[in-house]
């Protein structure tokens, strides 16, 4: 019965495959790029205080949080929208701008929610080819047609952790027609070490009207469970998105916790330094194991395991380590490992040594 009343496009949607959560305390999860130090302590304190007001509806416009973000990024608060995770903002973007049959471009083998929101709004999906498993802005640019409405690109890319540079991005942006929206998903921006990482927000400051930058509190700030993401774009784009979003999309605890996390400088510095050190340790260890991997600008590493990733995933579960096999992304012989704390990284390598035998 329900098949008759279901929208046709919905039948093509597959359920999202999340990283597996541990069932016991002794299992280490390095599958979802979560912060090994837990949530920001300043966020926790703000959440505890704000909880006493939970009977009251949230501020519909997330005013305090947007003001804090505006200050941080030197933009106007009307150039910012907050969401129930950046997934929510991706959906709001499609709801606001995507008409049925308009084209949505994103690189193949990437974060699956771009595909989900494009399907929901009946976009025509064009997956652009990778080049050596990395995003090719040239391939994306050459896929643009006069029907292209939205381009979603993650930078750093998920699941490879690689980036495109400022020059590459600036050149690319010039090739995009004004009526095509470029959405850059910078979920992992705070982990980047490279000096070539693009400052995309300067284009918003400079008046660029078809660019949206997405950021999140899920990774660097340790707040994946709280659900807060945000978008930065011209007021012309943000204003209609504010009308389309569900009125109370960001909870009181999310608004208060996220605003507080922005100021948690000690926690953020510890998170950054741990990632730099963990990356170095994992590179050296993977080299010793004879595994090739992508140099990462993120808090995870893409490892080419040259064997069935799902089978390796199960073997590592046997060692009480959860990693992410990239089969659902379209890489059947690669895994993504989150960079943990020093102890977790050591246990990961020792488990891999065992199961790779």
Of the pair 60, 350, the CB lying nearest a copy of itself is at: 60
Closest approach of a copy of itself to the CB of residue 52, in Å: 7
Of the pair 68, 181, the CB lying nearest a copy of itself is at: 181
Owner of token pair 């999340």: 18
**What region, left, alpha or beta, does residue 51 occupy, with left being phi > 0 and alpha being psi -120 to 50 degrees?**
alpha
What distances in angstroms separate CA 117 from CA 42, 82, 95, 97, one per listed residue? Answer: 33, 17, 8, 12
Alpha helices, DSSP H only, in the chain? Answer: 2-5, 8-11, 41-50, 63-73, 86-97, 113-120, 137-143, 166-175, 201-205, 235-244, 252-261, 265-288, 309-318, 342-356
Of the pair 130, 278, the CB lying nearest a copy of itself is at: 278
Helix (H, G, I), strand (E, B) or coil at 263: coil
Of the pair 6, 342, the CB lying nearest a copy of itself is at: 6
Closest approach of a copy of itself to the CB of residue 239, in Å: 8
* Cα torsion angle, 278, 284, 288, 291, sign: positive
Angle between helices 252-261 and 41-50 (to 10 degrees): 150
Of the pair 129, 266, the CB lying nearest a copy of itself is at: 266
Closest approach of a copy of itself to the CB of residue 98, in Å: 7
Closest approach of a copy of itself to the CB of residue 119, in Å: 9
Closest approach of a copy of itself to the CB of residue 323, in Å: 15
């Amino acid at each position: 019965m329900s098949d008759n009343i279901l929208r046709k496009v919905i039948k093509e949607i597959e359920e999202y495959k999340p990283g597996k959560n541990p069932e016991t305390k002794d299992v280490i999860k390095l599958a979802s790029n979560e912060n090994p130090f837990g949530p920001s302590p300043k966020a926790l304190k703000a959440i505890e205080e704000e909880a006493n007001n939970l009977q009251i509806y949230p501020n519909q416009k997330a005013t305090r949080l947007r003001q804090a973000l505006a200050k941080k990024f030197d933009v106007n608060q009307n150039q910012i929208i907050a969401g129930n995770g950046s997934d929510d903002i991706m959906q709001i973007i499609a709801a606001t701008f995507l008409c049925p049959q308009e084209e949505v471009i994103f690189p193949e083998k990437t974060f699956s929610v771009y595909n989900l929101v494009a399907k929901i709004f009946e976009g025509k999906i064009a997956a652009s080819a990778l080049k050596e498993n990395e995003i090719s802005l040239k391939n994306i640019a050459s896929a643009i047609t006069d029907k292209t409405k939205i381009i979603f690109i993650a930078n750093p890319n998920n699941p490879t952790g690689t980036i495109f540079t400022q020059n590459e991005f600036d050149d690319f942006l010039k090739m995009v027609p004004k009526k095509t929206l470029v959405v850059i998903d910078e979920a992992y921006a705070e982990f980047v070490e490279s000096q070539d990482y693009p400052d995309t927000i300067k284009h918003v400051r400079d008046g660029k009207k078809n660019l949206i930058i997405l950021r999140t509190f899920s990774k660097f700030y340790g707040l994946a469970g709280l659900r807060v993401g945000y978008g930065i774009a011209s007021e012309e784009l943000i204003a209609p998105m504010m009308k389309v979003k569900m009125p109370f999309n960001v909870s009181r605890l999310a608004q208060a916790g996220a605003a507080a996390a922005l100021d948690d400088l000690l926690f953020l510095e510890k998170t950054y330094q741990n990632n730099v050190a963990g990356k170095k340790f994992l590179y050296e260890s993977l080299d010793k194991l004879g595994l090739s991997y992508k140099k990462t600008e993120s808090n995870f590493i893409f490892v080419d395991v040259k064997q069935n990733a799902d089978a390796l995933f199960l073997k590592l579960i046997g060692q009480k380590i959860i990693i992410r096999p990239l089969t659902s992304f379209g890489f059947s012989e690669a895994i993504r490992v989150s960079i943990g704390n020093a102890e977790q990284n050591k246990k990961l390598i020792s488990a891999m040594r065992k199961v790779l035998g």
